[in-house]
Amino acid sequence: MNCKTIVFAIIGIIAGTSSFAQSHVGGGDSCRDEIDRIRQNIKGWIERDEAKDLKLEAGWTYNTPGAIHNYKEAMLEVLQDRKVTVTCYLDPALIHDPESRALAEKESLTFKSITIHGTPTDCTNDITPSGEMVIECNYSRVLDPTVAGDRNFRRTHHEFASLAGVELKDGSTFSDYFVSDQVAQYAKPETVWMLGPKKRDGSLHEEVSQYLELLLSLKNRVFEPSIEDLQKFADFRELPFTGVDKMILRGGKLSAILEGVIPGGGAYFNFKYKAHEYGYGNDLCAETDAFSVGFAGVDYGILADLGKIDIRKVDIATHPVAKILYGYNSMNGEKEPAWRKEYNTLESEAGLEIQGLHFHNRIYYSDEPVPGNTYLVRSIIEGKQDTLTVFQVVSFDRVNQVVTIVWRTLSSFGVPHLAR
């Protein structure tokens, strides 16, 4: 049966063999090669004018002859082979980890923090006093298998676009992703054919493969946030442990249809793995009438409705409710009856009282998810994770019963366990 592997590629592009055309100064061949693969992909996409429908900042044109700010010319200039030196580094926090040290030796990596004004980030770019264009990246973040391919295209396009002047860095912690957010919308999984054993006549492998590809494409379309929603929180998404994601309301028609494709119908979400499938250990469920937490075994959680407050203003240092949920002592180390009692208390009408406030594991909407409303969720999943996350409703699609949320995990408390 022919073998296939799924990679992300700009629509209309099937990535070929990497030419390893970028400068190999510095370390991290695997990391640099991944960035170079995407660079070549974006370059070919622009050369074929498949980027012509991008919306650009005021004063920019796509390819008007003689224009000072010409997107196509500016981008193709910086996307040339060996135009930009890319170097990848390992996080210094891993310097004493034996596996990381072995990786550093294997790929000629050094340890260096990649930050913007002290805030960790995936990559940075600069033009040196001698005029050399450089991009520096965090090796682990670039090759993180849990990060969706469209985000990799967003990140890579942004670094080159910043060097080209298409997206300007304002000197603050955050950068402009106006165009890169749109580029991410063009990314989709493509099939790269590979040689394998000869296909037997009458085999259903091709039909099954095509069906699975269709399901994957459908899944990506269903859960793909709109450009408008992404742009509202472009700055916020540069912070670590953040995201903008869709959830399909459980009990709605679309969720019922998707149930046969995605366990849980897309109504559940795990913030650590950014997964919608029920069974990962789920932190949140969006229902037609409520948000809820705690779904299997002894897993349980606490929800808090903060009302209409900017998600950027919620942190464990200054927000009183965030402080309370951060200081909550979970049932970690307790026997099963204690876990189930805590769940039942949160499920009860009175709820769980902490410092004079009453908390539950379910919060009902007045009618439907309200854009701008912000919540906290402390999710305790036995044997897996214990996290505190703030999330805000960005938009609600009433027709399809789909809610888009922006979120940030504020703290992780290790792995909780039952006393055996």
pLDDT tens for residues 295-309?
888 999 999 999 999
Q: Which of 130, 163, 190 is the last residue of a domain?
A: 190
pLDDT-wise least confident of 20-24, 106-110, 117-121, 322-326: 20-24
Q: d(Cα 196, Cα 72) in Å, to the nearest integer?
A: 39
The answer to whether residue 205 sits within a structural domain is: no
- Whether 71 and 120 map to the same domain: the answer is yes
Average pLDDT, integer, range 40-67: 90
How many angstroms separate the CA atoms of 418 and 420, rounded? 6
Report d(CA 222, CA 253) in Å as an integer. 14
What mean pLDDT is predicted for residues 6-35? 52
165 plus 68 within the same structural domain: yes
Query: Domain boundary at 140, 171, 190, which?
Result: 190
The boundaries of the domain holding residue 279 are 226-412
pLDDT at 325 over 90: yes
Is residue 390 within 8 Å of residue 407, measured between CB atoms? yes
With vertex at residue 162, the alpha carbon angle to CA 161 and CA 165, rounded to the nearest 5 degrees, is 85
Which residues are registered as beta bridge partners of 393?
Answer: 405
Could you tell me which residues are beta bridge partners of residue 404?
246, 395
Q: Pairing state of beta strands 3-10 and 187-194? A: antiparallel
Query: Three-state secondary structure along 78-135?
Result: HCCCCCEEEEEEECHHHCCCHHHHHHHHHCCCCECCCEECCEECCEEEEECCCCCEEE
The predicted structure's pLDDT at residue 221: 74
Q: Is position 206 within any domain?
A: no
**pLDDT given for residue 257 in this prediction:** 81
267 and 403 share one domain = yes
Tally of residues, the chain: 420
Own/partner long-range contacts of 267-274 (Cβ < 8 Å, ≥24 apart): 268/295, 269/245, 271/241, 271/243, 271/379, 271/387, 271/389, 271/407, 271/409, 272/385, 272/387, 272/409, 272/412, 273/146, 274/146, 274/148, 274/243, 274/245
Could you tell me if 258 and 184 lie in one domain? Answer: no
pLDDT band at 190 (very low <50, low <70, confident <90, very high): low
Question: Is residue 11 located within the same domain as residue 97?
Answer: yes
Cβ–Cβ < 8 Å for 24, 10: no
Least confident of 17-31, 148-162, 368-382: 17-31
Q: Give 105's contacts (C-beta < 8 A, 6+ positions apart).
A: none
Residue 196 forms part of a structural domain = no
In a domain, 305, yes or no: yes
Using the 3D structure, point to which of 166, 190, 214 is the last residue of a domain: 190
Structure tokens at 148: 């969706």
At 254 the pLDDT is 84
For residue 259, is it within any domain? yes
In the predicted model, is pLDDT for residue 12 greater than 80? no
**Residue 405 shares a structural domain with residue 320:** yes
Statement to judge: residues 155 and 233 lie in one domain: no
Q: What is the mean pLDDT of residues 318-329?
A: 96
Those residues whose C-beta lies under 8 Å from the C-beta of residue 407, and which sit 6 or more positions away, are 242, 243, 244, 245, 271, 311, 389, 390, 391, 392
Task: Report pLDDT digits (tens) over 205-247.
Answer: 666 666 666 666 666 678 888 888 888 898 898 888 999 999 9
Q: What is the pTM of this model?
A: 0.57
Work out the end-to-end distance of the chain between its first and last CA atoms, rounded to an integer number of angstroms. Answer: 47
Report d(CA 77, CA 80) in Å as an integer.
Answer: 6
| Cα–Cα distance measured from residue 165 to residue 146, given in angstroms and rounded to the nearest whole number | 30
Q: How many domains does the chain have?
A: 2
